[in-house]
């Protein structure tokens, strides 16, 4: 199989620049269910790299190189056609919707009936250990439960790959361990390539994949 038709996510000679300065360069292939961890000092361009891959790079930056997903060059596609599943430090749940509403909102439009949409959301909640919480107000959840809902919402959107921007950094140590185990289990189950940005060595170890240090 020619290399660029392989499954997974290929970052081909990707360079992120600001003004005339190169912030970081990456050339790497992330296979299905593999994680590439990006570590580096604050301001080294890690979040900006995720924005380039996801298709939402701010116009102040220069992004070069190709992003190839499942053999398809997605570099020129707008964000909504790249289907990145993104998790940030904050779960960013919609406060005016129930937990289930947050998930139903993220479902692909191809799931059309109300009954099927509800069934899919309930199953996604089960997958992250939150069965039965469909009707809950997200504001009443603990930090760990919110992180689980955010994960379920990303997974139910049927993303092509995951971009994780320090998603565990606000959780205390025990919770951090639980949530990241769940994230990597689910990424592995769904065969998604993952790019993880973190400052934390234990996140990198838990991810078990390749680690790139940038800005060193
Ligand atoms: N919209 C913007 N316009 C100009 N410069 C920006 C903009 N957003 C961020 N920057 C700068 O670009 C650089 C890269 O930012 P980025 O957020 O990607 O770094 P990071 O490695 O993710 O940092 P951290 O680890 O602190 O999250 C930083 O120097 C930042 O100050």
- Which residue among 41, 47, 63, 166 has the greatest number of ligand 1 atoms within 8 angstroms of its CB, and so is best to mutate? 47
Structure tokens at 24: 């970081």
The phi and psi torsions of 210 (rounded to 5 degrees) equal -70, 150
At 216 the pLDDT is 63
The Å distance, Cα 43 to ligand 1 centre, comes to 5
The Å distance, Cα 136 to ligand 1 centre, comes to 36
Q: Model ipTM? A: 0.94
Cβ-contact 170, 90 below 8 angstroms:
yes
Cβ-contact 144, 179 below 8 angstroms:
yes
Q: Which long-range contacts (CB under 8 A, 24 or more apart) does 38-41 make?
A: 38/195, 38/196, 38/197, 38/198, 38/211, 38/212, 38/214, 39/197, 39/198, 39/199, 39/201, 39/204, 39/211, 39/212, 39/213, 39/214, 40/213, 40/214, 40/215, 40/216, 41/215, 41/216
pLDDT tens over the chain, length 216 residues: 444 456 899 999 999 999 989 999 999 999 999 999 999 999 999 999 999 999 999 999 999 999 999 999 999 999 999 999 999 999 999 999 999 999 999 999 998 899 999 999 999 999 999 999 999 999 999 999 999 999 999 999 999 999 999 999 988 888 999 999 999 999 999 999 999 999 999 999 999 999 999 986
Which residue has a Cα nearest atom 16 of ligand 1?
45
Which residue has a Cα nearest atom 2 of ligand 1?
60
What architecture does CATH give domain 1-83+161-216?
3-Layer(aba) Sandwich (3.40)
At 7 the pLDDT is 87
Where are the CATH 3.40.50.300 domain residues in the chain? Answer: 1-83+161-216
């Amino acid at each position: 199989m020619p290399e660029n038709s392989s499954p997974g996510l290929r970052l081909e000679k990707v360079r992120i620049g600001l003004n005339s300065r190169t912030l970081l360069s990456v050339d790497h292939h992330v296979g299905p269910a593999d994680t590439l961890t990006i570590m580096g000092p604050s301001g080294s361009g890690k979040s900006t790299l995720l924005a380039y891959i996801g298709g939402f790079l701010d116009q102040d930056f220069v992004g070069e190189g190709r992003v190839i997903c499942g053999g398809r060059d997605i570099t020129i596609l707008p964000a909504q056609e790249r289907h990145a599943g993104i998790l940030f430090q904050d779960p960013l749940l919609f406060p005016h919707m129930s937990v289930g509403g947050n998930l139903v909102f993220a479902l692909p439009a191809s799931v059309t009936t109300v009954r099927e949409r509800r069934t899919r959301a309930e199953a996604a909640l089960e997958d992250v250990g939150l069965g039965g919480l469909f009707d809950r107000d997200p504001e009443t959840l603990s930090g760990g439960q919110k992180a689980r809902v955010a994960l379920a919402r990303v997974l139910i959107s049927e993303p092509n790959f995951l971009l994780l921007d320090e998603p565990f950094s606000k959780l205390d140590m025990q919770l951090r361990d639980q949530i990241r185990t769940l994230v990597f289990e689910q990424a592995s189950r769904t065969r998604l390539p993952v790019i993880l940005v973190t400052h934390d060595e234990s996140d990198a170890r838990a991810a078990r994949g390749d680690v790139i240090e940038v800005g060193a």
